[in-house]
Amino acid sequence: MAPEILARKSLMNGQPMSFFLFDRPEREPSRLVGFAGNRLDRRSEKRDDQTLADALADPAARLTLVSGGARLLLKLDGGRFDPHFAPADMAAYGADPAQSVLLGFSADGPVLAAPAAIEIESLPDGVKAIDFRSIYVQGLLEEQDAGALAQAAALLAWHASHRFCSRCGTESRSAAGGSKRICPSCGAEHFPRTDPVVIMLAVRRDHCLLGRSARFAPNMYSALAGFVEQGETIEDAVRRETLEEAGIRLGRVAYHASQPWPFPYSLMIGCYGEALNEDIQADLTELADCRWFSREETLAALDGKHPDAVFTPPKGAIAHRLIRDWAESS
């Protein structure tokens, strides 16, 4: 009997199929990073221009208020925070219902977001404006709320920076609950963008490649990263950025995890790359330093025990996930 027939027969007899997908963990590594817990039912294909008004009028509606790069939170007892306001609160925080967007629906009702136009110094007692990065680093919100924040921040930032039609220059209007913009002049439809960014850990035997940006806190090292360019695969972007920044050529590239990154609307795509050479030629206009770390050194840095006080990005960052998952692998 031919091998392919035997394979089909084995599958029909209930034998396990040999395919890499089924060797992957059931809980994806992406579930372990910050901003990745969004569980809202977006219903993007079921919206019309009445959807937003209906959501705002729903007594169960909950509202996310964003001011610049911060989210307004209601401070509760015990250091806890309530991340939601009622649509009726919009006027008190300078939020315009016409600029609000519908994020989706939870079991409790619709969830919306709107930009707040209020000075931080004017916030009432019990309301705090906390920047997005601090929210996830300090774990101030539940996973699903932090995930919805990434959606809200990215969507509002896109609307703020894409008010005018790129075809004819006319000011466009938000439509379908904020899921697109329509030009009233030429009829062009514009949809929210997400910028793909590769973030990668080059590995060679028992060493990984970490770099330092001049923007980092002293002694912090991380995975390299860069934007995916037009007409480029994820794998080729990983190879190109690693070569450009560190002079390291990569062979095989494997995807590991991703992370929504609301700065302002990126998607971090985490990969591993097989280093083919060891001699680093760092681009010092991009990096302050770049070096190989042994597995032992890397584990020490992750745990805050490195002899030179080297440390890595915080737990919620995809860079941390890439570094730790490699360092703890057998």
What are the tokens at 58? 């729903």
- Give tens-digit pLDDT for 179-219: 999 999 999 999 999 999 999 999 999 999 999 999 999 99
Say yes or no: 153 and 214 in one domain: no
Write the DSSP assignment of 131-177 as a string of letters: EHHHHHHTT-S-HHHHHHHHHHHHHHHHHHH--B-TTT-PBPEEEGG
> Quick one: DSSP state of residue 107?
T
CATH code assigned at 107: 3.90.79
- Mean residue pLDDT of the chain comes to 93
Domain count, the chain: 2
- Give tens-digit pLDDT for 69-118: 999 999 999 889 999 999 999 999 999 999 999 999 999 999 999 999 99
What are the tokens at 245? 């920044």
247 C-beta neighbours (distance < 10 Å), count: 14
User: Which residues constitute the domain of residue 318?
Assistant: 195-327
Say yes or no: 202 and 303 in one domain: yes
Is 38 domain-assigned? no
Q: Quote the pLDDT of residue 20.
A: 86
Is 26 domain-assigned? no
pTM over 0.95: no
Distance between CA atoms of residues 317 and 19, nearest Å: 29
Say yes or no: 116 and 216 in one domain: no
Distance between CA atoms of residues 205 and 292, nearest Å: 11
CA 143 to chain CA mean position, Å: 13
Q: Quote the pLDDT of residue 2.
A: 53
Q: Quote the pLDDT of residue 68.
A: 87
Is 56 domain-assigned? yes
Say yes or no: 306 and 201 in one domain: yes
Is 230 domain-assigned? yes
